[in-house]
């Protein structure tokens, strides 16, 4: 099965109202080429699951500024004032989730679990409306799995089978999101032949990856 596809093939799969996971942490390890594809396609009413909403001119921030997002599930919006503005104006729904909880909710979905129990958020507004479960005398919040239609991730080196290796801090949410969507598209900084990444060094096994696009090398971030 040929997994390396053109941006045009990605373009065709993007639809209004989709739920997307997008990897990266303050745009480090964010697939900028795929975000540009979303902007070009101008799909609307997206639900985005991401660590943060980037900056107005970089990463997921560009989709917010372009008013393509209906709802965002994220841990931090402080670096993109436009997210806060749209939230306050009622144009954008923002669900803030503790970072460690968010990544575990995604992991749970990808791993076929019914949810996770975490002590994080107990005694805060994060616990509102959630089931509390006591285990061995300690109280936890039940946090439910989060899935997406498509996960857009960024890999430093990807082989033609879809095995992914991430350089340094670009890894962040990418390998976890790769497990939790119906379709996973990785934007590769570099594509190599199968076998060129030694099997023990692969971080995301090819089984999780549907498509590979060759992205440009992004500059400072």
Residues engaged in binding other proteins (CB under 8 A): 25-29, 51-52, 74-79, 84, 87, 94, 96, 98-101, 103-104, 107, 118-126, 156, 166-176, 203, 218-221
CB of 176 to other proteins, least distance (A): 5
Report how far residue 23's alpha carbon sits from residue 155's, in angstroms, rounded to the nearest whole number. Answer: 10
Q: Under a CB-based contact definition with an 8 Å cutoff, are residues 8 and 139 in contact?
A: no
Residue closer to other proteins by CB (options 1, 220) is 220
Q: Under a CB-based contact definition with an 8 Å cutoff, are residues 56 and 80 in contact?
A: yes
Residue closer to other proteins by CB (options 19, 174) is 174
156 Cβ contact partners less than 8 Å away, ≥ 6 residues apart: 165, 166, 167, 170, 188, 189, 190
Structure tokens at 26: 């303050």
Residue closer to other proteins by CB (options 28, 210) is 28
CB of 181 to other proteins, least distance (A): 16
Q: What is the DSSP letter of 12?
A: H
Residue closer to other proteins by CB (options 5, 203) is 203
Residue closer to other proteins by CB (options 2, 90) is 90
Report how far residue 111's alpha carbon sits from residue 166's, in angstroms, rounded to the nearest whole number. Answer: 21
Residue closer to other proteins by CB (options 84, 214) is 84
Report how far residue 72's alpha carbon sits from residue 152's, in angstroms, rounded to the nearest whole number. Answer: 15
Residue closer to other proteins by CB (options 5, 94) is 94
Structure tokens at 118: 């975490």
CB of 12 to other proteins, least distance (A): 30
Q: Is 131 helix (H, G, I), strand (E, B) or coil?
A: coil
CB of 127 to other proteins, least distance (A): 10
CB of 13 to other proteins, least distance (A): 25
CB of 18 to other proteins, least distance (A): 23
CB of 107 to other proteins, least distance (A): 5
| 22-to-26, 29, 124 alpha-carbon distances in Å | 12, 10, 27
Report how far residue 37's alpha carbon sits from residue 176's, in angstroms, rounded to the nearest whole number. Answer: 22
Residue 91's CB is within 10 A of a number of other CB atoms, namely 12
């Amino acid at each position: 099965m040929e997994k390396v596809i053109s941006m045009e093939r990605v373009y065709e799969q993007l639809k209004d109202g989709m739920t997307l996971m997008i990897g990266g942490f303050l745009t480090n390890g964010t697939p900028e080429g795929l975000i540009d594809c979303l902007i070009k396609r101008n799909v609307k009413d997206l639900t985005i699951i991401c660590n943060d909403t980037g900056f107005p001119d970089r990463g997921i921030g560009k989709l917010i500024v372009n008013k393509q997002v209906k709802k965002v599930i994220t841990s931090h919006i402080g670096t993109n004032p436009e997210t806060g503005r749209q939230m306050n104006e009622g144009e954008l729904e923002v669900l803030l989730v503790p970072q460690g909880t968010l990544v575990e909710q995604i992991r749970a979905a990808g791993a076929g679990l019914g949810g996770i129990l975490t002590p994080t958020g107990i005694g805060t507004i994060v616990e509102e409306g959630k089931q509390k479960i006591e285990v061995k005398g300690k109280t936890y919040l039940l946090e439910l799995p989060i899935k997406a239609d498509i996960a857009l991730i960024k890999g430093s080196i990807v082989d033609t089978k879809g095995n992914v290796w991430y350089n340094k801090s670009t890894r962040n949410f990418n390998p976890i999101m790769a497990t939790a969507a119906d379709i996973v598209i990785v934007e590769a900084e570099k594509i190599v032949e199968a076998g060129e990444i030694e099997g023990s060094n692969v971080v995301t096994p090819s089984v999780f990856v549907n498509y590979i696009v060759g992205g440009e090398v992004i500059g400072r971030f």
